[in-house]
Amino acid sequence: MTDQARRPSPLRDLNEYDQYVIDTFAREDEALQWIQAEADRNDMPKISLRPDEARTLQILIKAIGARKVLEIGTLAGYSGTWIARALPADGKLITLEKSSKHAAVARASFEKAGVSSKITLIEGAALDSLKKVESEAPFDLIFIDADRATYPTYLRWINEDNHLRLNGVLVVHNAFAGGRIATPESADDHGMSALQQELAKGHHFEASIIGVGDGTLFAVRVR
Ligand SMILES: C[S@@+](CC[C@H](N)C(=O)[O-])C[C@H]1O[C@@H](n2cnc3c(N)ncnc32)[C@H](O)[C@@H]1O
């Protein structure tokens, strides 16, 4: 197997089936297109969820009747907008972002999409912000898409004090770590791998990965 075949760059490379799913189930409206354009205008990295991944997250949120969602890693508010739209009218998304520039763009995005009333954005390093959101726990769903080296620490927080409810779901983006999950190289890769190895022990979660794009990990809290 060539190195290129073993390490695809799946983040934005759509095959015809991905495109079919997007065209059929996950079309972006004007607000979502505006958010991506605004991210480009602000030179932000192209690392948000793909529409088909975001749509899968929406379906999951609705399937489990989630009302309270925590997101770590806001960027321009693209995934946050999809999440907020899947929540009921009295639902709430708390999203954590360390970059003040990203947070400012995300606030504008949430306004543009008309979802600001459902969203609390907390600026600062997530490890600090998590202390501030403990009173909101337990969450129904937690979505992590940020600094992968810290993922084992986030998982420890999730496991403490019922921060995620029983039968609640943990979702983690880029589960294949850009194709390096089986042979981790960087601290980020090792963080992602360590999170998955811990989940695979089955102490609190049952988990697997949907292999669309760079993979999305889904884990249901079973005990
Ligand atoms: C992959 S992007 C999030 C993409 C977003 N979920 C989406 O799909 O639209 C990761 C974001 O996490 C933020 N981030 C990285 N480390 C963080 C930390 N320790 N605390 C809070 N945010 C962090 C980055 O600044 C960046 O905006």
Q: Which domain holds residue 117?
A: 3-221
pLDDT tens, position by position, 88-135: 999 999 999 999 999 999 999 999 999 999 999 999 999 999 999 999
Ligand 1 site residues (CB inside 6 A) read: 47-49, 73-75, 78-79, 96-99, 102, 125-126, 145-147, 150
Residue with CA at minimum distance from ligand 1 atom 4: 48
**Interatomic CA distance for residues 54 and 61, integer angstroms:** 11
Mutation choice for ligand 1 from 43, 46, 72, 82, CB with most ligand atoms inside 8 A: 72
Give the nearest ligand 1 atom to 150 CA. Answer: 19
Q: ∠ at Cα 170 (189, 137), nearest 5°? A: 125
Following DSSP, what letter does each residue of 128-142 receive, concatenated? HHHHHHGGGPSEEEE
Q: CATH number, domain at 62?
A: 3.40.50.150
> Nearest-CA neighbor of 126 among 105, 148, 107?
148
Q: Is the pTM of this model over 0.85?
A: yes
Q: pLDDT truncated to tens, each residue of the chain (223 aa)? A: 333 333 334 455 789 999 999 999 999 999 999 999 999 999 999 999 999 999 999 999 999 999 999 999 999 999 999 999 999 999 999 999 999 999 999 999 999 999 999 999 999 999 999 999 999 999 999 999 999 999 999 999 999 988 999 999 999 999 999 999 999 999 999 999 999 999 999 999 999 999 988 999 999 999 9
- pLDDT value of residue 12: 58
- Supply angle C-alpha 72, 222, 142, rounded to 5: 10
Number of domains in the chain: 1
Q: What is the DSSP letter of 40?
A: H
One-letter amino acid identity for 90?
D
> What is the pLDDT of the chain when averaged over all its residues?
94
